[in-house]
Amino acid sequence: MTIPSTPTLPDPTRPHAAIPRGAWLVLLAAFLGWMFDGLEQGIFPLIARPALQQMLGKKSPDIGAWIGYITAAWLVGAAVGGLLFGWLGDRLGRVRGMALSVLVYSAFTGLGYFAQQPWHLLVLRLLAALGMGGEWSLGVALVMECWPNNRRPILAGVIGISANLGFAITGVMGLIFQVSIDSWRWVMLLGLSPAVLTLLIRLFVPESEKWRHSVSTAQPNQPVREVMRPPLLSKAILGIALSSVALIGTWGAVQLSISPWVNKLAPDPRLHTSAKSLFLIAIGAIVGCFVSALLAEKLGRRITYFGMCLLSFAATKVLFGYFHTFGPGMMVMMFLVGALTASFFGWLPLYLPELFPTRVRATGQGIAYNTGRILAAGGAIWGGKLVDYYHEDYARSAAIITLVYLVGMIIIWFAPETRGKALPE
């Protein structure tokens, strides 16, 4: 079957040029794709315990370990998807790859309705994550290539906001709709909702003119090979390290631990502690993502990353070390932890595209970000085992994992400062 070509997009190279309609369509499609991505990510923390309690029994000692395994599978799937769809985006186009990635993650999330065993959930989350990881890489490349350079900091903040808006919607849904052993399957069906977005992307979203020009003038490229050898290899390694710190901290500690931790502190389902926590973290993340991108443009990429690591380390130590009851103080601290630990996801969409030329940008940032997800998967498995080792002391295990932020405070000084520079061609 021949896929119809998408319209091209004028390249607004002048800083104050009027933004063409096509650029707004690109941003809208990417925003919705990332928002649904965040919603799909938030589904599992919301349904994890009731789903596994139904499958394993309410008192099963293996629930914490399975949460770790499934989270790790999601991260590995997202990593592979970022590489796969990043490669497709550099070879076949950003728009085609993005539409397919959205279809993949919506279909396999919806199929979670039929899961009967923990390993069913694990496999379906892994397959859904293929699309989620791909959508992030392609959406970032497409937006950054279709908008003027001076708009990139704001766009990076919007990227971070969109995913966390989806995560916040999941939290609100948990407040309104009681997720229990009997109702968690219906939540999975929400995963089918983004499927309609694929049709809209293919019909209305224009392709990146920069990508079209790059592939028409360059030699037939092998993006993975080019990224993984000098001179881009050193940038890829730095991107992997910087992404890993953010992802291990977020997934190995915050996402893995907070929801089951507060459920244990306040087990009465009528308190909606898990949903409240997800919502507060997501609202904090929305603020943190936007502010971090603006600070990176104002202060520089390196000093901003250093500050995010320092403050994330301090905030997580306070949350997991000094709060032992669910109440207003803990809720305020969750907002702050959400803002600080998620601030990296406003910084990364700004910085990673600045490391790679157009012809391999989707592949390069996909390798950097998604290899970090693989390392974060190890952190999630290790975190799950720490939870079991410490007899479901989620706070203690999370406090150990967040030591990774100290590593980030060192690595960032080996990375190039890219503030004020145009995207490399």
pLDDT tens for each residue of 270-314: 556 777 887 888 889 889 988 999 999 999 999 999 999 999 999
Q: Phi first, then psi: what are they for 179, rounded to 5°?
A: -85, 115
**pLDDT range class, residue 410, cuts 50, 70, 90:** very high
Burial classification of residue 417, based on how many CB atoms lie within 10 Å of its CB (0-12 exposed, 13-18 middle, 19 or more buried): middle
Evaluate if residue 100 carries a pLDDT over 70.
yes
Which ranges in 118-194 belong to alpha helices (H)?
118-146, 152-176, 184-189
Place of tokens 């932020």: 405
How far apart, in whole angstroms, are the C-alpha atoms of residue 366 and residue 240? 10
User: Which pLDDT belongs to residue 114?
Assistant: 93
Q: Which range has highest mean pLDDT (69-73, 217-221, 370-374, 415-419)?
A: 415-419
Q: Which of 11-20, 27-36, 157-166 has the lowest mean pLDDT?
A: 11-20
Coil/strand/helix, residue 220: coil
pLDDT tens readout for residues 354-406: 999 988 888 888 788 878 878 777 776 777 677 677 776 777 777 788 899 99
How far apart, in whole angstroms, are the C-alpha atoms of residue 329 and residue 66? 30
Q: Phi first, then psi: what are they for 181, rounded to 5°?
A: -55, -35
**pLDDT range class, residue 176, cuts 50, 70, 90:** confident
Coil/strand/helix, residue 329: helix
Give the residue among 254, 240, 279 at the shortest CA–CA distance from 373: 240
Evaluate if residue 245 carries a pLDDT over 50.
yes
How far apart, in whole angstroms, are the C-alpha atoms of residue 82 and residue 368? 9
pLDDT tens readout for residues 187-239: 888 878 888 888 788 788 888 888 888 777 765 567 888 888 899 999 999 99
